[in-house]
Amino acid sequence: GSDFSPRGKSDGEIMRFCQAFMTELYRHIGPNVDVPAGDIGVGSREIGFLFGQYKRISDAFENGVITGKGLSYGGSLIRPEATGYGAVYYTCEVFKHQNDNIEGKTFAISGFGNVAWGVCKKIAELGGIPVTISGPDGYVYDKDGIITKEKIDYLLEMRASGRDRCQDYADKFGVPFFENQKPWGVKVDVAMPCATQNEIGLQEAKQIIANGTKYYIEVANMPTTEDALDLFMDTEGIIVAPSKAVNAGGVCVSGLEMSQNSQRLSWTAEEVDEKLHNAMIAIHKNSVKAAEKYGLGYNLVAGANIAGFEKVAEAMMEQGIY
């Protein structure tokens, strides 16, 4: 790992860091060894710098060695949107299970990066209404919804600016901004934390429950503290979906990017999106099946844990214990 922050750094500084990092990392990765991908603070710019250095060192064009690449050198369509799109597809499966649907549902979203952007984009496309985004400086509440192309595209501008200011959205569109606050006091149908680990503590969980929110959908990696998750799980009337299942769309499309690289093909956005959608349907189905198998009812948290464990354990046993 590293303790380098890209905030306030020039492109040249970020490039030199990425090159230095890959100079050490390259010996541990490969298209058939281990394949890294981007996360918070690592987008297509950083992936490009990393891949370029790997290519220089290895003297080979092994574009399956890293995912999240630009389209000009082996990236996949839908990869930037994948985590957000997948999260919404999973949420729609939860709605179906509850004989519900996304039409007209209001969503509280945290963050305004790639994941939140993808979530807002797909929710709007399917008829839902995301009403909040947030940043380190606070959150905005847009009662009309972040549903127009102009508003959704502006999230990309905010991220690209490097300012890390959610207030920029409020200033541009004339909506309320709540400084140094989180969006979980807003009454919505669905809460979807999309920002960082442990952003939902006990206080936030109590707010979400008090608002009568029916669905708590984790999107960021482990956004809920242990005590907050226990409270959600012990509260009747709210469905909890775990991040290890909900945000699998990003990893899924990374796998699809590797498949395209191996075949020297480029699939259309529609092809990639369909495969992603089917994968998220299967993930929800397997979680439900695993929970029911052990008499746990519609417990998506336990179901995802069990389904994931059983898959790994079965593969290990079949390959021989070592």
Instruction: State the SS3 of 50-93.
Output: HHHHHHHHHCCCCHHHCECCCHHHCCCCCCCCHHHHHHHHHHHH
| Residue 148 Cα distances to 131, 142, 173, angstroms | 12, 12, 11
- pLDDT averaged over the chain? 96
Q: How far apart are CA 153 and CA 139, in angstroms?
A: 18
pLDDT category at 241 given cuts 50, 70, 90 is very high
Percent of the chain with pLDDT over 90: 93
CA distance 197 to 117: 18
Q: pLDDT (tens digit, 9 = 90+) per residue, 116-150?
A: 999 999 999 999 999 999 999 999 999 999 999 99
Pairwise CA distance, residues 4 & 2, whole Å:
6
161 pLDDT higher than 70? yes
Higher model confidence: residue 259 or residue 5?
A: 259
What pLDDT is recorded for position 3?
Answer: 86
The DSSP bridge pattern shows strands 138-141 and 129-135 to be antiparallel
Same topology for domains 11-73 and 79-322, yes or no? yes
What are the tens digits of pLDDT across the range 184-205? 999 999 999 999 999 999 999 9
- The dihedral through the CA atoms of 243, 247, 252, 254 has a sign that is negative
The pLDDT value given to residue 105: 98
Q: Would you give the end-to-end CA distance of the chain in angstroms?
A: 28
For the chain, domain boundaries? 11-73, 79-322
Architecture of domain 79-322: 3-Layer(aba) Sandwich (3.40)
Confidence band, pLDDT 50/70/90 cuts, at residue 322 = low
Q: How confident is the model at residue 41 (pLDDT cuts 50, 70, 90)?
A: confident
Look at the alpha carbons of 312, 317, 321, 322 in this order and tell me if their dihedral is positive or negative: negative
| Homologous superfamily of the 11-73 domain (CATH) | Leucine Dehydrogenase, chain A, domain 1 (3.40.50.10860)
Tens digits of residue pLDDT in 75-130: 999 999 999 999 999 999 999 999 999 999 999 999 999 999 999 999 999 999 99
